[in-house]
Amino acid sequence: MAGNATRAKPEVAVAPGSENGRAVALPERFDLRSHSISEDKLRGLLRLFPEAAAEGGKVDFNRLRLALGESVETGRERFGLTWAGKADCFTAIQSPSLGTLLPAPEQSVDWESTENVVIEGDNLEVLKLLQKSYFGKIKMIYIDPPYNTGSDFIYPDNYAESLQTYLEYTGQVDPEGKVYGTNAETDGRFHSKWLNMMFPRIYLAANLLRDDGVLAISIGENELGNLTQLCNELLGEENRVTICSRVMKTGGQKGLHFSPCVDYVLIYAKDIEILGPFRQDISQNLIDKVYTKIAESGPRKGERYRIMGLYQPYLDPRANQRYFIGCPDGQLVIPPGSTFPSVATEGQIVKPTDGDGVWRWTYETYKQESDKGNVEFVKSDKTSLVTPSGKPATWNVYTRIWLNERLEEGQVPGNILERFENRHSSAELKELDIPFEFSKPSTLVKLLMSICGVGEGDITLDFFAGSGSTGHAALELAKERGGTRPFICVQLPEPTGIESAEHKAGYKTIADICKERLRRVIKRLNDSDHGKLDRVEAGKPDRGLRVYRLAASNFQVWDSARPDGVDSLQRQLTEHVDHLVKGRSEQDLLAELLLKSGYPPTTHIQGISVSDKAAYKVSAGQLLICLDRQLTHEAVRAMADLKPDRVVCLDEGFVGNDQLKVNAAQTFKTKGIAFQTV
């Protein structure tokens, strides 16, 4: 797969109805069962290679091969990473999710207004559900997956019934005695299992990245090589930005040969050509140590700066950069060397020969900068500058580098990440009174977000969220810089283990820890802002949290895996008389319909009335959803009069009134409004 190729909006993921199921009128957009290339991709391919077009909009593969000529790899031995189960990964990617996200407002903060999301669920299913709504919208993905150390838990994917596995795992359906454990090193498929888990997730996650987006993955030594190859394959080797080493701890007695003190952060761009340069803030340490001078006069009086010699010995000799400079007492100085003219004047150029020193600037630049107050003369008996006779000078010439300009420019970050050790994350969680051992310091994630350019309104996703360090980092970054930094954290409700400190503290799952940590961070930030003026409306930070929970779709799905037989068939038919799952609320349905229509679940919805029926306006009225079960001609006309782009109604709304449904379809069609029933 070409790393850089732009992917068409995927046709994998949510699909409430089944081809064999009840007659659910799913529009084309909702049908995500396709195992073939999407329309967009196909059109793109044929635009590039029109000679490969066959009848009926299909591709003539032989002609495509001819068109590609020598670019086709024909060798039998190819470079790349293979493992047991790789082919099945594509099936896992393409099999749709039959799940939904159920809103949990009771666990949330500022439900109505926030863009911050925590989803409790298996991330493969969730990534599928998010495909349409967040396709190409995420600025940064940071993940910290299991390192495959032999003791960390790897959630078992079964692509054939992936949601079912999850529902059993979380006790939402009978688990039939299944036990989920760790990926032991003694297991013959140790690396393969891990890669089978990672490949589909990174594939789907990459779809969500913006063109200027960044993927950052924390990883240990065990899987560093495999993960690098996997990412090279999925995102393109040319898009690898770097592999950072993070100091986890210093010293220690663990290990036979070396005690592991670092882990790594792999950083990939979605498209390195589009990604801007990385800069980080200049450290206070550097400011304090280096920017020690303060201008006493001139246009920049009072500003901090540092000085740098205008002569540097490492410079290659440039013809026009060796000249005389007049110092305040009239002494002429020049970089050291052996070429000197018989008569010397200020600004006189002396063509350098081998070994002659030169200034960093041409004389013109020197004059301009000098006029701006950016040159400083310092009396010195240690200068390497010389006079016109080659004798040691008594002055040195410096240029001024202003702190304010450097602060604006920032600093190119080094790829060793220090000051983010494990002990820092432990301390951070201790301060929040939350027991959890495997977290990363939120300051590490905050630094990565800021280096990668996560700005106002840019969304960050973490689908191995653990205790929610990424959400914590986003909230802190927003506080520091102002504005909002929305985040999405996805975390499996992995049980904490009955004997664990987490369990004893009342957290049954890691997802519970994640939610509670973020609620506490929000409270702490709000408390610290209490009474401050900058919390008034315009600049009000987003200190909310929307919690969702992965569950089976609100729409009954025809279960082809049920045993054959008249009774079983009869039961399933009866269940499908009402194809909405019992006990689900209108809010649940709305959340699913938003996702299926390609809107983020946080999209603002306005409740309205259409001829006495409740309806919902989405995205300034482009989408209109009516979940009433007794629709009328008047309601249909009222909806059409609002001129939305699309109307979605429940199939039940037309039950027993086929004529009304036909009329509704006609009314909407004549007004150019797409109409769907679910």
Q: Which one of 275, 510, 627, 640 is in contact with ligand SAM (CB under 6 A)? A: 510
The footprint of ligand SAM on residues 408-447 (CB under 6 A) is: 438-440
By CB under 6 A, how many residues form the interface with ligand SAM? 18
Bridge partners, 100 (sequence order): 551
Nearer to ligand SAM, 11 or 144 (CB): 144
Token pair recorded at residue 424: 């820092």
What CA–CA distance (Å, rounded) separates 659 from 648? 18
Which tokens belong to 597? 């229509």
CB of 101 to ligand SAM, least distance (A): 14
To the nearest whole angstrom, how small is the minimum distance from the Cβ of residue 420 to ligand SAM? 11
Q: Compute the CA torsion angle 37, 41, 43, 45 (nearest 10 deg).
A: -100
With binding defined as CB under 6 A, does residue 103 bind ligand SAM? Answer: no
- In 10 A of CB 128, how many CB atoms? 28
Question: What are 215's strand-pairing partners?
Answer: 141, 268
C-alpha count within 13 angstroms, C-beta hemisphere, residue 580: 20
For ligand SAM, which residue of 271, 494, 512, 542 counts as binding (CB under 6 A)?
A: 494
For residues 493 and 653, which CB has a smaller minimum distance to ligand SAM in the complex?
493
Among candidates 134, 144, 5, 96, which has minimal Cα distance to 440?
144
**Dist. CA 229–CA 225, nearest whole Å:** 6
Of the residues 100, 108, 123, 399, which one makes contact with ligand SAM according to CB under 6 A: 123
Which of these ranges, 9-17, 106-114, 491-499, 613-621, lies near ligand SAM under the rule CB under 6 A? 491-499
Among 11, 144, 168, 588, binds ligand SAM (CB under 6 A): 144
Residue 481 CB, nearest approach to ligand SAM (Å): 21
Residue closer to ligand SAM (CB basis): 117 or 492: 492
- For residue 1, give every residue at least 6 positions away whose Cβ sits within 8 Å of its Cβ, in sequence order, or none: 233, 234
Q: Which is nearer to ligand SAM, 439 or 676 (CB)?
A: 439
Find the angle CA(493)-CA(498)-CA(502) to the nearest 5 degrees: 65
Min dist CB 457 to ligand SAM, Å, is 23
- From 131, 183, 491, 553, residue interacting with ligand SAM (rule: CB under 6 A): 491
In the bound state, the residue with its beta carbon closest to ligand SAM is 466
Question: Whole-number minimum distance, CB 662 to ligand SAM, in Å?
Answer: 45
Cβ 145 to ligand SAM shortest distance, Å: 6
* Residue closer to ligand SAM, measured from CB, 108 or 425: 425
From candidates 11, 122, 263, 502, binder to ligand SAM by CB under 6 A = 122
Computed from CA positions of residues 40, 131, 207, 127, in that sequence, does the dihedral angle turn out positive or negative? negative
Q: How far is the CB of 222 from ligand SAM (least distance, A)?
A: 13
Q: Does 155 bind ligand SAM (CB under 6 A)?
A: yes
Calpha distance 641→637 (Å, rounded): 6
Q: Which helix (H) or strand (E) holds 243?
A: strand 240-247
The reply to whether 492 sits near ligand SAM by the rule CB under 6 A is yes
* CB nearer ligand SAM, residue 230 or residue 332: 230
Angle at alpha carbon of residue 540, lines to 590 and 209, rounded to 5°: 55
CA-nearest of 440, 435, 436 to 420 is: 440
Q: CB of 462: closest distance to ligand SAM in angstroms?
A: 7
Give the phi and the psi of residue 28 in degrees, each rounded to 5: -50, -45
Contact pattern for ligand SAM over residues 449 through 468, marking x by CB under 6 A: ---------------x-xx-
**Ramachandran angles phi, psi of 49, nearest 5°:** -130, 70
Least Å distance, CB 517 to ligand SAM, is: 8
Residue 264 pairs with which residues in a beta bridge? 219, 245
Closest approach, Cβ 491 to ligand SAM, in A, equals: 5
In order of 96, 614, 618, 670, the CA distances from 610 in angstroms are 34, 6, 14, 19
Interface pattern 221-250 for ligand SAM (x via CB under 6 A)? ------------------------------
Nearer Cβ to ligand SAM (510/618): 510
DSSP H/E element including 267:
strand 262-269
490 binds ligand SAM per the rule CB under 6 A: yes
Nearest CB to ligand SAM, comparing residues 135 and 153: 153
Distance CA 335, CA 318 (A): 12
**CB of residue 232 vs ligand SAM: minimum separation in angstroms?**
23
Write the Ramachandran bin of 598: left for phi over 0, alpha for psi from -120 to 50, otherwise beta.
left
Instruction: Find the distance separating the first CA and the last CA of the chain, reported in whole Å.
Output: 35
- Which residue number, 135 or 155, has a Cβ lying nearer to ligand SAM? 155
* Site for ligand SAM contains 196 (CB under 6 A): no
Q: Closest Cα partner for 467 from 437, 424, 499, 505? A: 437
How many residues are listed for the chain in this entry?
678
Beta bridge partner(s), residue 649: 626, 677
Cβ-based nearer residue to ligand SAM, 61 or 438: 438
Helix runs in 452-585, H state only: 469-481, 501-504, 510-529, 566-575
Give the nearest distance from C-beta 249 to ligand SAM in angstroms: 16
Binding string, 45-84, against ligand SAM, x = CB under 6 A?
----------------------------------------
8 Å CB contact between 436 and 482: no
* Cβ distance to ligand SAM smaller for residue 3 or 601: 601
Separation of alpha carbons 591 and 128, rounded Å: 15
The piece of 15-23, 143-151, 326-334, 518-526 that touches ligand SAM (CB under 6 A) is 143-151
| Site stretch for ligand SAM (CB under 6 A), options 141-149, 328-336, 473-481, 665-673 | 141-149
In the complex, the residues that contact ligand SAM under the rule CB under 6 A are 122-123, 144-146, 155, 438-440, 464, 466-467, 469, 490-492, 494, 510
